[in-house]
Amino acid sequence: MTSPAEHPEHPGPAKPVHRTELELPDGRALGIHDTGGTGDVVLWHGGTPNTGEPPLPWRETDARWIGVDRPGYGRSSRVPGRRIADVAADVRAVLDHLGVATCRTVGHSGGGAHALACAALLPDRVTSALSISGLAPFTGADWFEGMGPHSRASLGRATAGRRAKEQFEAAGGSGGVDFTDEDRETLDGPWGWFGTVVAEAGGAGSGGLVDDDVAHVSPWGFDPASITVPVTLVHGEADRVVPVAHARRLAELIPGADLVTIPGAGHLSVLVEISR
- pTM, two decimals, is 0.95
- Please list, residue by residue across 72-96, b when 16 or more beta carbons sit within 10 angstroms of its beta carbon and e when fewer do: bbbbbbbbeebbbbbbbebbbbbbe
Read off the DSSP letter of residue 106: E
Which bin fits 274, alpha (ψ -120 to 50), beta or left (φ > 0)? alpha
Pick from 69, 23, 24, 29: which is nearest to 45 by CA? 69
Instruction: Name the DSSP letter for residue 267.
Output: T
pLDDT score at 5: 60
Over residues 226-249, the pLDDT tens digits come to 999 999 999 999 999 999 999 999
Domain 18-274 homologous superfamily, CATH: Alpha/Beta hydrolase fold, catalytic domain (3.40.50.1820)
The reply to whether omega before 11 is within 30° of 0 (cis) is no
Residues of the chain with pLDDT under 70: 1-3, 5-12
pLDDT at 139: 98
**264: which residues sit within 8 A by CB, 6+ positions away?**
182, 236, 237, 238
